[in-house]
Structure 1
Amino acid sequence: MKAVIHNGKAGLQGLSLQDVPSQKPGYGEVKVKLKSAGLNHRDLFLMNNKSERDPYVILGSDGAGIIEEVGEGVKNAAVQTEVIIFPTLNWDVTENVPPIPEILGGPSDGTLAEYVIIPSQNAIKKPSYLSWEEAGVLPLSALTAYRALFTKARLKKGEHLLIPGIGSGVATYALFMAKAIGATVSVTSRSEEKRKKALHLGADYAFDSYSNWDDQLHGEKADVVLDSIGPALFSEYLRHVKPNGRIVSFGASSGDDLSFPVRSLFFPQINVLGTSMGSCEEFYDMLAFIEKHQLRPVIDRTYPLEKAFEAYTRMQNGTQFGNIGIMME
């Protein structure tokens, strides 16, 4: 089968489309013929941190397709079922957080291929209203947004959510989900085009990430800040979140090391919450939520499998708005 693998050189230079052996599903597994897949910033992180000594990996955590074959012991899945893939492995119950969540696409083989073999419980019936393009890009970023907003931040109707750096898949899902429950949403971006798109999609306020936030927010503070940026803007969050507010962090695009006066954290009793991916319970809850509100992904662009290098280059350059998809046919 054809697959996008990463091997040898770090970064995008290690990407290639190759023919690799197609396997049969083992006990409790299913083989899915993929129709579509999606890219995530996590893929770039994995590529940048791989060395020549590491074994090759088929990239990709998101995907949707049709079950082609089932292994022994599978009773909860049938051939020809249209499925969306739950990308987190071995995390069934929300409260039982694993030390490091395992996920498709590293170290296990992922979805940027013609086929993928997964545990049968990770193949979940595709919402019928979603196209293949939409279903293929949905799983990881929508799950991340859902857990961050509702499991961790417990965002409620009427609260104010601030999303710095609008444009990623997670950020756009968070915008839709927050508006669906009646929250106020402010977003930031250095790109005027992205700010305009966010307003068109329902954001209440949009301003430059490096403008004066006091002027832009007119003195109003946020109940929740959804952080994927980290050090570059973290001090701003502490100034613009309400006492007893929540900062939920799921990424670190500007680096790992934070530095801020600890008094700015404990005097206003700010809650800093970490989150990553989500459980199978949350995945089912997320699918029910998006189906109830008929939410659809924002698709930036789609590429054929052989154009994965171009797709990842677009993501690395930060020009996307929404999800980047890969179509297998």
Structure 2
Amino acid sequence: MKALVLDGIDQPLQLRDVPTPQPQAGEVLIKLQAAALNHRDVWIQKGQYAGLRFPITLGSDGAGTVAAVGEGVENRWQNQPVLIDPGFDWGNNPKAQGRAFNILGLPRDGTFAEYVCVPAANVHAYPGHLSPAQAAALPLGGVTAYRALFTRGGLQAGEKVLISGIGGGVALLAMQLALAAGAEVWVTSGTPDKIERAQQLGARGGISYRQEKWGTELAKQVGGGFDVIIDSAAGPGVAQLVEAAAPGGRIVFYGGTAGAMTNVPPARVFWKQLSLLGSTMGTAQDFTELLALVERTRMLPVIDSVLPLAEGEQAMRRMDNGEQFGKLVLEI
């Protein structure tokens, strides 16, 4: 089969012939129709991820049809259209993943290929209103956004939500899910065009995080601050998130691309009774509930562009440069 292979740190993805995997007991073989990129893939390519091994086929998100089933797997999956829950072996504690937790695309070969094998427990029929490309755009970013918003953030209909760094896959999915749940959504970005495009999709408004004291200004605009804030940057900007939060607000971090939290005034945190929460990926239940919400509201993930598998390296560079608005999808 054809697969995009990463041979080492800072090496380009190479399209080459590799052996087609065979499903082991409890697994299914999926003939992929679409795979989506995540920032995780870029970080692995740059060597900024634990457990590196080479060569590796990247890709955590994928949709296709079941081509074969391993021993012990029900035949009902044969030839069925499915998408993949990319989180494996979460463990028994729904509050946090266990030590065995891992994600498709490292250490296990991923979806930037014509075929992939995954445990049958990790395949789901996808909502019927989605195309294969739209289905592939949903899993990792969707379950990350869902858990951050609802499981960790406790979002309720009618609450005000701030999504930072709009334009990336998780941030856009978080915005769409929050809107689908009946929340009022505002966004931040360093690019005015991305704020405008978010408003076209339903966001109430937004502000540039390059503006001085933007958190204080945004809190004034919404009349008291935000009930839930979803952030992937952390770094010095957390001080402004604290200013933007309403009393009793919940700030949920699912990443830290701007580094360590600095200049956070503790008095503002405890006097406003804020909750600072961490969130990573999601449980099988989170994933099932994500799909139910998408199906019920007929939500369509935002796709930046769809490229052929052979152009996977170009897609990686577009993501690395922050040029995308929505998910980058590879057609297989």
Which TM bucket (shorter chain)?
Answer: over 0.9
Once the two structures are TM-superposed, the CA of residue 259 in structure 1 deviates from its matched residue by: 4.7
Query: Please, which of 38, 41, 49 is the counterpart of residue 39 of structure 2?
Result: 41
Q: 1:40 & 1:77 partners in 2: Cα distance?
A: 30
Once the two structures are TM-superposed, the CA of residue 270 in structure 1 deviates from its matched residue by: 1.3
Check conservation: 2:58, 2:105, Cα contact below 8 A. Answer: yes
Check conservation: 2:163, 2:230, Cα contact below 8 A. Answer: yes
Equivalent residue number for residue 199 of structure 2: 199
Equivalent residue number for residue 62 of structure 1: 61
- Find out whether 1:74 has 2:73 as its counterpart: yes
Equivalent residue number for residue 85 of structure 2: 86
Check conservation: 1:70, 1:77, Cα contact below 8 A. Answer: no
Equivalent residue number for residue 215 of structure 1: 217
Q: 1:290 & 1:55 partners in 2: Cα distance?
A: 36
Aligned residues: CA RMSD? 1.8
Check conservation: 1:77, 1:120, Cα contact below 8 A. Answer: no
Query: Please, which of 225, 231, 234 is the counterpart of residue 238 of structure 2?
Result: 234
Once the two structures are TM-superposed, the CA of residue 146 in structure 1 deviates from its matched residue by: 0.7
Give the alignment of 1:304-323 within 5 angstroms. 304-323=308-327
Q: 2:322 & 2:160 partners in 1: Cα distance?
A: 26
Check conservation: 2:137, 2:301, Cα contact below 8 A. Answer: yes
2:18 is aligned with what amino acid?
V
Q: 1:259 & 1:18 partners in 2: Cα distance?
A: 48
Equivalent residue number for residue 98 of structure 1: 97
How high is the sequence identity, in percent, across the aligned residues?
40
The change in CA–CA distance for 1:299 and 1:185 in structure 2 (over 3 A counts) is same
Residue ranges of structure 1 left out of the alignment (5+ in a row): none
Equivalent residue number for residue 300 of structure 2: 296
**Range with bigger deviation, 196-205 or 77-86:** 77-86
Once the two structures are TM-superposed, the CA of residue 207 in structure 1 deviates from its matched residue by: 1.5
Deviations 1:176-197 (A, max 9, x none): 1111222111101111111110
Secondary structure of 2:182 counterpart: coil
Secondary structure of 2:235 counterpart: coil
- Find out whether 1:16 has 2:20 as its counterpart: no
Q: 1:60 & 1:71 partners in 2: Cα distance?
A: 22
Once the two structures are TM-superposed, the CA of residue 256 in structure 1 deviates from its matched residue by: 3.9
Q: 2:327 & 2:75 partners in 1: Cα distance?
A: 30
Residue ranges of structure 2 left out of the alignment (5+ in a row): none
TM-score between both structures, scaled by the size of structure 1: 0.94
1:305 is aligned with what amino acid?
L
Deviations 1:224-271 (A, max 9, x none): 110111104111011111222111000112124545233332232211
Once the two structures are TM-superposed, the CA of residue 94 in structure 1 deviates from its matched residue by: 6.6
2:31 is aligned with what amino acid?
K
Secondary structure of 1:301 counterpart: strand
TM-score between both structures, scaled by the size of structure 2: 0.93
Check conservation: 2:219, 2:243, Cα contact below 8 A. Answer: no
1:298 is aligned with what amino acid?
V
